[in-house]
Amino acid sequence: MPAETPRRWHDLGEFIREQRGSARLSVRRLSELAGISNPYLSQIERGLRRPSAEILQQIARALQISAETLYVQAGILEPREDGQDDLARQILSDHHISEDQKQALIQIYLSFRREHEPDAGEEPGKAD
């Protein structure tokens, strides 16, 4: 597991906690709005749990922020750069498919990308 991963979950939890504070919501109230348990949300905020894309979407909806914002914080999506768009963002913006279908497509896409990423130290394009 990369050393940055635990830090990423801590930073994500801190971001969610800050957003919850800005919305003036207690952990209990946010967990109710998001449809997740109070202890689970608390563990996410402390960086002890890695939430799924679906859970992040539920939290984002409860906080009234974009799911994309939390996906970037979690490392599911790369930060947007001017003129740059990726497939995951296009999937998320499609109004013709359900949220569950969007999540399934994104998970499949990300698994294919991970499968074809070069190993550390291997040059891009030199994979077998």
Residues 28-80 pLDDT 10s: 999 999 999 999 999 999 999 989 888 999 999 999 888 888 888 888 777 76
Query: pTM for the complete prediction?
Result: 0.62
Q: Supply 108's token pair.
A: 């499949």
pLDDT at 87 over 90: no
φ/ψ of 92, rounded to 5, equals: -60, -30
pLDDT at 69: 82
Q: For residue 68, which of 83, 81, 53, 51 has the smallest C-alpha distance?
A: 53
Distance CA 83, CA 80 (A): 8
Q: What is the mean pLDDT of residues 93-97?
A: 78
Is the CA virtual torsion 81, 83, 84, 87 positive or negative?
positive
Q: Supply 101's token pair.
A: 């279908």
* Superfamily of segment(s) 4-115: lambda repressor-like DNA-binding domains (1.10.260.40)
Grade residue 118 by pLDDT with cuts at 50, 70 and 90: low
